[in-house]
Structure 1
Amino acid sequence: MEPIWNRPERAARGPRPAHSRDEIAAAAVRVADAEGIDAVSMRRVAAELGTGTTSLYRYVSRKDDLLDLMVDAVMREEDPPEPGGDWRADLRVLAGRTRALLLRHPWFSAVAAARPGLGPGSLRWLEAWLRAVDGLGLDPDGMLAAVGTLRIFVQGAVLGEHAERAGGYDNDAWLAAQGSYGDRIIAEGAYPRLVRIMVEARAPHRADRHDTAFALGLERVLDGLAAFLPSP
């Protein structure tokens, strides 16, 4: 189970490899983006590269290696942002950029959550998250908890967006279809707080409801973090 990052990409002797790890990872990411993560196999990636399945095992010894390469390839699509000196603003940027990355690759969240990110791209982003909360008076466990909470919020928010896209969800059509049932809920009077939301809330009807909900939710998470920071 030695991580692929601790193994040389090519043997010290022998012919020059026909493919690099980056090329293999890029091919696997293309397959996952187009067909879903379940379509990714050693055979399918080999076909994408125009090589034999057996030859692919010269570069990656198991599928877990391939998944690790895919995760890090995505994390290296762009560099993490430079800090600006305001911890809340820095965390907003990190959260927004991470959300955009997850939205580009619907398969990524589930794969990344199942394995620690140890590749260079993943480590650079983790360092950026930790750098944003460094200096706030948190101990190492507190720093991990703060970063973990923020990243879980981002992943959860994106999960809902992916689910809507995958199911062909149309918010306006859904709201219209629930009209008579909504009237029944209101008339029964058993859920007064929900009824108030149904009647008064505007966010569910907005075209940018995901962006708005993400921004508002992120601010509440940051407020919670600020409330538990040690006194200066």
Structure 2
Amino acid sequence: MALPFRPATGPATRKRRQFLSREEIVEAGAKVLARDGYDALNMRSVATELDVQAAALYRYVDSREELDDLLFDHLMADCVPGLDGADWRADLRAFAAAWRLRLITMRDATRIALGQVSIGPNIAPLMDVALSILRTSGLKDDELIEVYQACMLLVHSLASAEASYLELAAQKDAGGLRHAPPQPEWVASYPTLWALAERLAAPPDFDARFAFGLEALIAGVERRLAGETP
């Protein structure tokens, strides 16, 4: 997934008391997101948080889509973990774990679509570290780009699934998540599916799922480096 670089436009700092700044708008958006969730996030709710009219925001932020873009970058601030550089596999695990933790601890962060996120000041260091780790592995540049894209989608997709599951589970109170019993004709038509239905419906172990996916990705890189055809 290609990410565009964000142009440096708009006022960077607040010059006069009655004026807003882009940073204030993004921080207000982060407060709305953390307190009320993504469904409540819009230009009007952010303006209310700042005690201004919604029209005042458009001088600094062009659209709701740009607000999402700026906000996602804001949420990723200082997410790069400390790495020792001794082994690219350990560094990739540490990087991916830090990114996953940030995504699942920031309310509704994964609901901001990656497709509308550009490279901002907090995304750039994350990308640079990940690409540097993969280059250290010995991958060619075209290959490491593909592995980076796969890693990005793996982390974001699993974090999104985890966040959604936890939110849904919390809404079910003590009853937990429930699954309808299979229809008899489906059991006959899809025997393998229903033989595994109980396991598929069990509460997921997201730590194990994340580790499995990441280790599979690392193993694929190791096969590529060894000259094996995937």
Q: TM-score range by the shorter chain?
A: 0.7 to 0.9
Equivalent residue, structure 1, for 2:208: 212
TM-score by length of 2: 0.77
Kindly indicate whether residue 224 of structure 2 is the aligned counterpart of residue 222 of structure 1: no
Where structure 2 has 5 or more consecutive residues not aligned to the other structure, the ranges are none
Equivalent residue, structure 2, for 1:164: 165
Equivalent residue, structure 2, for 1:125: 126
Contact 1:137 1:230 in 2 (8 A): no
Larger radius of gyration: 1
Cα offset, 1:22, TM superposition: 2.3
Contact 1:92 1:218 in 2 (8 A): yes
Contact 2:38 2:111 in 1 (8 A): no
Equivalent residue, structure 2, for 1:43: 44
Aligned partners of 2:22, 2:93: CA distance in 1, in Å? 32
Report SS of the residue matched to 1:220: helix
Contact 2:32 2:46 in 1 (8 A): yes
Q: Which amino acid aligns with 1:211?
A: D
User: What are the within-5 Å matches in structure 2 for residues 1-232 of structure 1?
Assistant: 5-10=7-12, 15=16, 18-76=19-77, 78-84=78-84, 85-168=86-169, 191=191, 195=195, 204=202, 209-229=205-225
Cα offset, 1:223, TM superposition: 1.0
TM-score by length of 1: 0.76
* RMSD, matched Cα: 3.6
Give aligned-pair identity as a percent. 26
Aligned residues: 221
Q: Which amino acid aligns with 1:227?
A: R
Note closer, same or farther for the CA distance 1:198–1:31 as it changes in structure 2 (3 Å cut). Answer: same
Note closer, same or farther for the CA distance 1:17–1:82 as it changes in structure 2 (3 Å cut). Answer: farther
Aligned partners of 1:123, 1:39: CA distance in 2, in Å? 28
Where structure 1 has 5 or more consecutive residues not aligned to the other structure, the ranges are none
